[in-house]
Structure 1
Amino acid sequence: DHKESARYAREALPVLERVGAEGEAVQVAATIATDEIEQGDLEQAARDVERIEELSAALGGPDRGAALLTRANLEIARGHTEAGLSAYRKAVTRSRSEVWGAGLTGLDDIAPWTLAAESGCLAAEARYGDEESGRELFQSLRPRLHRLLAGHEGAGYPSGFLDYPVAGLVLFALGLWAVRDDALGAEEAIRLLVLAERFGYPRLSGPLRWDHAVADAERVAPGALARISAEYGDRRGADLLDEARTAAERLLAG
């Protein structure tokens, strides 16, 4: 639960700062700022984002990416969509250069922070952006979703491990773009959205709002989301892994 995460983050942040755990402090502070954005307290969020950027400037790596993503979410909440998209795109570029090009053991292109940056950016492109940038991200994420769901070893995780919320985030972004760009049949795109919700994807910014995705789905195929959701009954997470893998295979083939 996001509100619970924010509460724990507020309790943990002073402790992390006292013991000098700067990287962890950045991640926790980003959670707090994201909650402030969600609650509409944009003035306090702006102060906290500036603080996150100062903390992360010397750290690099995923910590710098967290600062960029939080800045992107703030700018979009302010209505500054171009600034928000720019921050998202910078986060993608940074994550690719650090993970794909660094030669670091155990890190590859299915590292969670790389997938988070690209999925957040693709969702923002679907909601506010342009076709060229969105299509590049869509094509880049399709095969990696397949690898991720297949349980390939990567990003320091053992073979067979799956981070379901991260997989859900990728499913959501691909589904949202496919609905916007008609990149799949409407029902196949909506199926990705339903699976994302069942995987518990993190809804940490405006482009990831579930109610907006539901409205998009109803616009292109009225009733399809409810029908597909009913197919899955009460199943969530691991109980839908086979269905998600099948959807990823169809996505890759398409």
Structure 2
Amino acid sequence: MKFAIVQPTNTFTAIQLTDEALKAGAEVILLPEKWVRHLDEVPLTDFQRLAKKYTSYVIPGAVEDGVSVISPVIDPNGEVKGIAKKIHLFEEEKNRLFPGSSTVIFTYRGIKIGIAICYDVDFPEVIRQMFAKGVEVVLVPSKIPQDGIELWREYLRVRVLENRIAIVNANTLQLPEYPGMSVVYIPMKKGRYVYAEKVAEMSSSENYLIIDINPLHYMDLRVSRLKEYSNFEINEIS
């Protein structure tokens, strides 16, 4: 399936780049977290129109709606099929917003896809529960500053390794603080070991990127890892 990351700096280029990516064959579009300040600024009707025109999914990033940080999921009929909410609020967000208590997964053309918003990736339980539900690709809208990019990518790589799933990350482009540099990782076995392979990366410029991900290429890794998970108890010795 062809996934596209759209890395805009304003609503005009967001619509333009989304249109171009869909025209080039993208089937699922992902934008970053907080690339605009509020849900009211998201050109939702334009994204709905494009999703319907190209019969594709569009996830127009994650934005504040005055209550939470949310990520609408627009289906190929142009309807908002569901809304993912950020479960783990970061720093000052905790003073203004309410955390979500659930996220969403959906299946498109036989591939099960999940959404985790930025700081949620820091908590392994979020991705693990998606993995246990059969998720094969996780979409991650984020807003990570320049000095946090390398550490952020460590979290992404570890989640890929833990769960043998692919991660598509769209990061905010607001220079100079937020560099874009969106990235895609998939699990790949080389010899005896499995690696989180970086298969695509964007620069610090407005653009879109299309990556073709076939979960069948790492299905045996996912099945094997799923069999290895065990429930256990912790016995505290006094």
TM-score, normalised on structure 2?
A: 0.35
Larger strand proportion of the pair:
2
Please state which structure has a larger fraction of its residues in helix.
Answer: 1
